Structure 1
Amino acid sequence: MSTLTAADLAREPFLRGMRSADLGRLATAAHVVEIPAGRRIIAESESAERFWLVQAGAVALDLRMPDRGTVVVETFGPGSVLGWSWLFRPYRWRFGAVAISDLTAIEFDGRLIRTLCAVDPALGYELTRRFTELVIERLQAAQIRLLEMSYPEPAPQP
């Protein structure tokens, strides 16, 4: 497990523009992980204590729906963030996720990050602001996908 630095994290799109001191603190809670294709990374409604910055590969975000099974809501790849539920009570995953190709990501310890945020409210505000924007984007994507499923396109007229 290699040690990450503030400079490593500064290259990540989600963290771009954060103070170097904040990135240094975040680096203490981070390490690089390799996740094979097909592995479930997040199981909906289980305890949420991590998040990831995707560096390579692709992830499918999914949701269990009654009478439809598991539905892919969104897919994303390098430069994306996976997981926001670690920041918001009750710290349970609201969606599921599976690696759809081999994945390289920076994994963060959510419990440690919550502690760092409690000690440094400016860091807490900055992360909360960034993750709230992410939540809004993901919920809008889920809404669009669910609407598409509910109202399929009409058949073309001859």
Structure 2
Amino acid sequence: MTPSMLQALPAEHRQRLMRYAREVSIPQGARLFDEGGRADRFWIIRTGTVHLDMRVPGRRAAVIETLRHNELIGWSWLFSPHSWHMGAEATTPVRAYEFDATAVRSMCRDDPAFGLSVALWVGDVLVHRLRSSRTRLLDLYAPYGSGSLL
């Protein structure tokens, strides 16, 4: 499980970020974003679950990870070219905090200490998601046993 914002950000930075939070409800089955789309916001889940998925040529999208309470949805908003690297779909009704990516990136530029905290948090999430993606894709598509580590 990835570190939550509560664990990753110092209290002062967490409070600053939460000033930009907007509470949203996302219905079950709604697509939050698709691979290649513009990454202009991100979310922190309050309740519900979201599947992250990746397109696989010639197959259905592969579910890479299931996100739950206090987990970050989206990291692509922080890195150029600000386009989604995965897709996301609400698998239950979801309540979340939504953040405007442009405003948060601006805060990060204006306050280097805040920016570093956010970058390290999102970086930890990114590393976890890449590992999950690799493991899940090996589980789904590699020959038996090829995903095991020695």
Separation in 1 of the partners of 2:102 and 2:23?
17
Identical-pair percentage: 36
CA distance in 2, matches of 1:123, 1:94: 25
Q: Tell me the TM-score normalised to structure 1 length.
A: 0.84
Q: Does 1:94 align with 2:79?
A: no
What's the offset of the Cα at 1:133? 0.6
Does structure 2 retain, via aligned residues, the 8 Å contact 1:25–1:116? no
Secondary structure of 2:37 counterpart: coil
2:45 touches 2:94 (CA, 8 Å); kept in 1?
yes
| Distance in 2 separating the partners of 1:132 and 1:18 | 12
Runs of 5+ consecutive residues of structure 2 not aligned to the other structure: 146-150
Distance 2:143 2:51 in 1: 21
Q: Identify which of structures 1 and 2 has the higher relative contact order when contacts are C-alpha pairs closer than 8 Å and 6+ apart.
A: 2
Specify which of 134, 140, 143 is matched with residue 149 of structure 1: 140
The CA distance in 2 between the partners of 1:47 and 1:97, in whole Å, is 13
Q: Structure 1: state its 5+ residue gaps.
A: 1-11
Q: Distance in 2 between matches of 1:141 and 1:148?
A: 10
What is the identity, as a one-letter code, of the residue corresponding to 2:92? S
The amino acid of 2:58's aligned partner reads D
Q: Which of 67, 72, 81 is equivalent to 2:72?
A: 81
Which amino acid is 1:109 matched to? D
SS for the counterpart of 2:16 is helix
Query: Offset of 1:74 from its aligned partner?
Result: 0.9
- For the residues of structure 2 that align with 1:125 and 1:74, how far apart are their CA atoms? 26
Cα distance in 1 for residues equivalent to 2:6 and 2:142 = 37
Name whichever of 106-115 and 20-29 sits farther off.
20-29
> TM-score, length-normalised on structure 2?
0.88
Q: Hey, what's the Cα distance between the residues in 2 that align with 1:128 and 1:144?
A: 24
User: For 1:64 and 1:58, how far apart are their aligned partners in 2?
Assistant: 20
Shift of 1:153: 4.6
Does residue 46 of structure 1 match 2:37? yes
User: How many residues end up aligned between the 2 structures?
Assistant: 143
User: 2:129 matched to 1:138?
Assistant: yes
What's the CA shift for 1:17?
6.0
Answering whether residue 97 of structure 2 is matched by residue 106 of structure 1, we say yes
